[in-house]
Amino acid sequence: MMLPNPRFYARWLVHALGPRLANRRFAFAFTVLAVLGAKAVHIVARHDALSTNQIGLWMTSFLAQDFAVLILIRLLLDDCITTVSPTALRTALGFLGNALLVYNLVLGFAATTFFAVTGSEIPWHHVALASDSSSRTSIPAGILIFFGITAAMIALSWMLQDFLYPMFGFYANVVATCCSVVTRLLSRCVPCLRPMPYTKLPSQDIENSRRPSEDYTDPNSSSEDLIMSGSSSEILIQPPIIFRLLSRGLASVKISVSSASLYSAFNFIMHFLATASILVFIGFRLARPDDGSLTYIAWTTGLLPFVGYKSLSPSLENLRPTYGVGIQHEWDHVTALTEPIPMPWLPTEETEGFEDWYRNVPHYNASADPMKIDNLDEPLLPELKDKLKDLDIRHVVLFFMESVRNDVFPIKKDGLVWNRLAETWPENKLPQNVQDRLARLTPTANFITGDYDDGFDHKEHRKRGGAHFTNYYTAGTYTLKSLPATICGMGPLIGDFNLDYKHHMYQPCLPHIFQALNNMSTSHTQSGPYAKSKWQSYFYQTATLQFNQFDKLMRKIGFLEENTIDVEYLRSSKAKHGPVTIPYTNYFGFEEEPLIDYIHDAFTSAKEKDERVFLTHITSTTHHPFVLPLNAKDKYLPLSNGLDELSHYINTQGYSDQWIQKFFNILEKQGVSNQTLVIFMGDHGTSLAENDIASSYYNPNIGNDHVPLVLSHPQLPAFNVNSAVSGIQVLPTILDFLLETGSLNEASREAIKGLVRNYEGQSLIRPQKVVNKKTGQGNWQFTTVNPGRAQLVARDARHPERRLIIPVLNSVKWRLSNVTEDPREENPVQASGFAAFLRSVEKKHNIEMAKWAEEGAFVARYFATENAERWHYGPYAT
């Protein structure tokens, strides 16, 4: 017996399923599932910010827009559109219906699958996920999830199409009838809306029309006709077969009801229910409080990309006080922008970074900043007393460590990372080979920080020397926010991704300052150390500068193209030491070793030309996906039994530690180790240990904020500073160091003495002040959350254990945590509305904490508005 050809089965499958998939019923059913699925995601993503009572009470109003969109699509897909005249209007309506269907299907499906893959919503006000490379974390698993959801939705749409399409047809009928009634009423008043004069139908149309016959049976009837559409355009001459069968069934028990009567009753009931539910939707929408958080949840996914933000900080603009504490609206018309402070030392020709002085336009003035707290009149930290006079600082290096958390620099036994890894193994105990790897993973970090209290046995306690800041927060959890904040000593722009390079950098950055000192008039007395030495500023990395206008940002900060190295240069024929051909280790570049020759060159040139080096370097190997280079001394070792990303991340920390030691070897070989101040810091961290999320994208977890900071120099004692400090304090600290160590010639010294006081941050080498004596406000520190616009992390140096998450946009939630009590921030207070948030804080904590949160909110409100004005952003653009 011959088996049928496989092509036979394929053709049979196409003929059997094709008509059920390639029709508007199926497309509409798929759209319904996509839209309602996206709304479910929208609500679930915020369920912890709303009470169960709120969700239950206003659920109907949350669905109102979604049903309105689906009813409109269903109406435009109806056959009645084909009767519309003129043809142009009919075509336009048909196109609109199809366009709305496709648009809402795509957006709803994207929102559902994105949430399933990442656990978060797409921020529709800038669909820029592709710009966040670390979001590629979930691509492999995401593909499987994507196809799984696709298959499930196709199957459900196939099964439900004969229910959903007719059901929404009843809604469409109700809306069409209402529109018809309104049109007739208007036609009495507006002549152009009156119907066309009656035209007699040709007799043959009447004669050839077929009269209904209850006994007629359509031979093509199928299960698709079980439920008939309520749409007037689809009312058949015959009632659907289900009503004919029901009529016959009732007749068998001597109940005589015609199928037409049953069908009419069914239609009446369905139209009545559709009308009633529409009225319920309208009623609950009108009754819902005018609360921004509830309003945001109610938006249908198709409209979210168009939800306009009339202000730069809509969530903060209309804050209403509950307790009346803090600044409230006192600072609404206060700005730190004034006439530039006098700087007579500036060169006569316009100098980059100091344009405001030459153009006499408003510039940041620290004395006019109500948030400014100055500690430059304080004595040096006790550990530094009498230690800086003989300190030699010829060169300065900013060494940024990509994605490095504070608790892996150095890694510690029985710390959070250790315990998370241990949890994956039997009996919560790490295998001995894993323990041995961790014990020797970060010896250079021990050397830099002087921290050997890590639970491991060490043969020696070598310490390079320097101040180790244990409570340092980055100013931005996006690299292109963190770098300008640190190099320029200013708050990064509260705007998504790298818009900073396009706007007004309201402070001179370190390369600008050093170049301005180079250009000072030689008429000044050139006495003191390095009297005639010129600064050279370099920016080196082995990652690309073509990502998100990174190259333009570095140029805006003051790094010249000829002093900038990235992966494109290293791979090009222009590379001084030959093209590098090693493979990429991540999305952006490869390991750091190819920079060794170029770092040597910078210091060799400085020695030959009597120059001073300012080098900024950021690593890349520790960037996601955390892949070790092929030449790694220690090959990859699985440190966990399941937390693979965390395991890979920790492995790369070992490689980074070895690279730092190689950097020290360069300084030693060049003979400049004792002349070089090196500031080690993380650009941002990762919250893999806290919430298993690698990316900092829309992820305001402490693991992304809390990073290492060490002011390292061999002639300094090694000591810890536990004060709460921030990224914008690094620049004024470097200037303070140069002043205190006598590392500037006389002219430069006079220039820097006035300039250093005009930066926002306090100096890190002096005791930190936690209160502004003039205003009574605390020392509030802010971190912009990747990608930059939607959220701020606020911290008060008086209560550094408290973390207040400020929603700048309505799409995110208020949040408060205490990292002493809840180190992983697993149980924060969250709410979408400010008033509800304060009530929740008071309920969980106390009224004092709630008052503090209100104070922080209003300070953040001022900070966000002032930030835009300083950067000439949004309505302040020039």
Section 249-270 average pLDDT: 81
Residue 181 has pLDDT above 90, yes or no: no
Residue 808, pLDDT > 50, answer: yes
When pLDDT is averaged across residues 273-289 and rounded to a whole number, the result is 89
Averaged pLDDT, 379-388: 96
For 388-461+477-528+537-771, CATH gives: 3.40.720.10
Report pLDDT for 533: 92
Per-residue tokens: 541: 């990395």
**In this model, does residue 550 exceed pLDDT 90?**
yes
Q: Specify the pLDDT at position 180.
A: 80
Q: Say what the alpha-carbon torsion angle 651, 621, 454, 473 is, to the nearest 10 degrees.
A: -140
Q: What pLDDT shows up at residue 197?
A: 52
Kindly indicate the confidence band of residue 811, based on its pLDDT and cuts at 50, 70 and 90. confident
Tell me how far apart the alpha carbons of residues 187 and 191 are, in angstroms, rounded to a whole number.
6
φ, ψ dihedrals at 534, nearest 5°:
-100, 145
Inform me whether the pLDDT recorded for 238 exceeds 50.
yes
Q: What is the pLDDT of residue 810?
A: 80
Q: What is the pLDDT of residues 628-672, one digit of tens each?
A: 999 999 999 999 999 999 999 999 999 999 999 999 999 999 999
> Alpha-carbon Rg of the chain, whole angstroms?
34
The secondary element (H helix, E strand) that includes residue 676 is strand 676-682
Spell out a b/e string for 295-310, using b for 16 or more CB atoms within 10 Å of the CB, else e: bbbbbbbbebeeeebe
Query: pLDDT (tens digit, 9 = 90+) per residue, 485-524?
Result: 999 999 999 999 999 999 999 999 999 999 999 998 754 4
> What pLDDT score does 576 carry?
97
Q: What are phi and psi of 629, to 5 degrees?
A: -65, 160
pLDDT of residue 19: 63
Nearest to 708 by CA among 682, 673, 726: 682
Interval 43-58 mean pLDDT:
73
For residue 139 the two structure tokens come to 């691509």
Tokens 């070793």 belong to 593
pLDDT (average), residues 545-571: 97
**Quick one: 483 exposed, middle or buried, by C-beta within 10 A (0-12, 13-18, 19+)?**
buried
Mean pLDDT of the region 7-16: 59
Burial class from Cβ neighbours inside 10 Å (0-12, 13-18, 19+) for residue 365 reads middle
- Six-digit token pair at 331? 């600072």
Burial 204-213 (b: 16+ CB within 10 A, else e): eeeeeeeeee
Q: What is the reported pLDDT for 287?
A: 87
Q: Is residue 295 predicted with pLDDT exceeding 70?
A: yes
Cα 837–Cα 838–Cα 839 angle in degrees, nearest 5: 90
Q: Which two tokens stand for residue 794?
A: 């606020």
* pLDDT of 5 strictly over 70: no
> Residue 41: which of 281, 285, 299, 305 has the closest Cα?
299
pTM value surpassing 0.75: yes
- Give Cα separations from 533 to 609, 612, 677, 781 (angstroms): 8, 6, 17, 36
SS3 616: strand
Q: Which residues contact 412 (CB under 8 A, 6 or more apart)?
A: 418, 453, 454, 455
Per-residue pLDDT, averaged over 44-70, amounts to 80
CA separation for the pair 367, 336 (Å, rounded): 8
- Nearest-angstrom CA–CA distance, 599 and 613: 10
What pLDDT is recorded for position 608? 96
Span 674-692, mean pLDDT?
Answer: 97
Spatial contact of 486 and 728, defined as CB atoms under 8 Å apart: yes
For the chain, the structural domain boundaries read: 16-194+300-306, 214-290, 388-461+477-528+537-771, 773-873
Burial degree of 15 (CB within 10 A; 0-12, 13-18, 19+): exposed
Task: State the Cα–Cα distance between residues 661 and 670, nearest whole angstrom.
Answer: 14
The answer for residues whose C-beta is within 8 angstroms of residue 492's C-beta and 6 or more apart is: 475, 476, 481, 482, 484, 485, 500, 784, 788
Residue 130, pLDDT score:
44
What angle (nearest 5°) sits at the alpha carbon of residue 112, between those of residues 111 and 118? 85
The dihedral of CA 829, 830, 836, 837: what is its sign?
positive
User: Quick one: pLDDT band at residue 24, thresholds 50, 70, 90?
Assistant: confident
* Cis check: omega of the bond before 431, within 30 degrees of 0: no
Q: 359, exposed or middle or buried, with CB in 10 Å at 0-12, 13-18, 19+?
A: exposed
For 81-85, 304-308, 405-409, 467-471, which range has the lowest pLDDT when averaged over its residues?
81-85
The answer, yes or no, to whether residue 237 has pLDDT greater than 60, is no
The tally of CA atoms less than 13 A away on the side-chain side of residue 442 is 27
Burial zone of 360 (CB within 10 Å; 0-12 exposed, 13-18 middle, 19+ buried): exposed
Strand (E) or helix (H) holding 157: helix 139-187
The confidence score (pLDDT) of residue 262 equals 79
Q: Write down the pLDDT at residue 185.
A: 81
Q: Residue 7 has what pLDDT?
A: 67
CA–CA distance from 281 to each of 37, 60, 172, 286, 301 (Å)?
19, 6, 15, 9, 18
Please give the share of the chain, as a percent, with pLDDT higher than 90: 64
Rounded Cα distance between 242 and 245, Å, is 5
pLDDT > 50? residue 221? no
Ramachandran area for residue 489 (φ above 0: left; ψ -120 to 50: alpha; else beta): left
Instruction: Give CA 806 to chain center in angstroms.
Output: 13
Q: What share of the chain is helix, strand, coil (3-state, %, to 5)?
A: 50, 10, 40
Which whole-number Å values give the CA distances from 584 to 316, 573, 625, 628, in the listed order? Answer: 43, 18, 11, 10
Give percent above pLDDT 70 in the chain: 86
Examine the pLDDT at 4 and tell me if it is beyond 90: no
Instruction: Tell me the per-residue pLDDT of 660-674, one tens digit each, with 9 for 90 and over.
Output: 999 999 999 999 999
pLDDT surpassing 60 at residue 102: yes
pLDDT (0 to 100) of residue 203: 39
Torsion angle (degrees, nearest 10) of CA 541, 546, 549, 550: 0
Q: Which two tokens stand for residue 268?
A: 């009446």
Residue pLDDT, tens place only, 600-612 = 999 999 999 999 9
pLDDT in tens, 465-474: 999 999 999 9
The pLDDT value given to residue 247: 75
Q: Model confidence over 749-797: pLDDT tens digits?
A: 999 999 999 999 999 999 999 999 888 899 999 999 999 999 999 999 9
Q: How many helices (H) and strands (E) does the chain have?
A: 26, 17
272 vs 697: CA distance, rounded Å:
47
User: What pLDDT is attached to residue 552?
Assistant: 97
- CA–CA dist 471, 177 (Å, integer): 66
Q: What is the DSSP letter of 211?
A: P
Which secondary-structure segment (H or E) carries 534? strand 534-540
Tokens 């170049």 correspond to 515
pLDDT at 497: 92
Q: Which helix (H) or strand (E) holds 338?
A: strand 337-338
Report how far apart the first and last C-alpha atoms of the chain are (Å, whole number).
Answer: 84
Whole-angstrom Cα distance, residue 61 to residue 288? 7
Question: Both tokens of residue 450?
Answer: 């002087």
- Nearest Cα neighbor of 118 from 644, 624, 693 is 693
Task: List pLDDT tens digits, range 305-330.
Answer: 877 555 567 788 889 999 999 999 99
Check pLDDT > 70 for residue 587. yes
Mean pLDDT, the chain, rounded, equals 87
**pLDDT-derived band at 255, boundaries 50, 70, 90:** confident
Distance of CA 628 to the CA centre of its chain: 27
Kindly indicate the confidence band of residue 421, based on its pLDDT and cuts at 50, 70 and 90: very high
Q: Is the pLDDT of residue 384 over 70?
A: yes
Q: How confident is the model at residue 204 (pLDDT cuts 50, 70, 90)?
A: very low
**Residue 77: helix, strand or coil by DSSP?**
helix
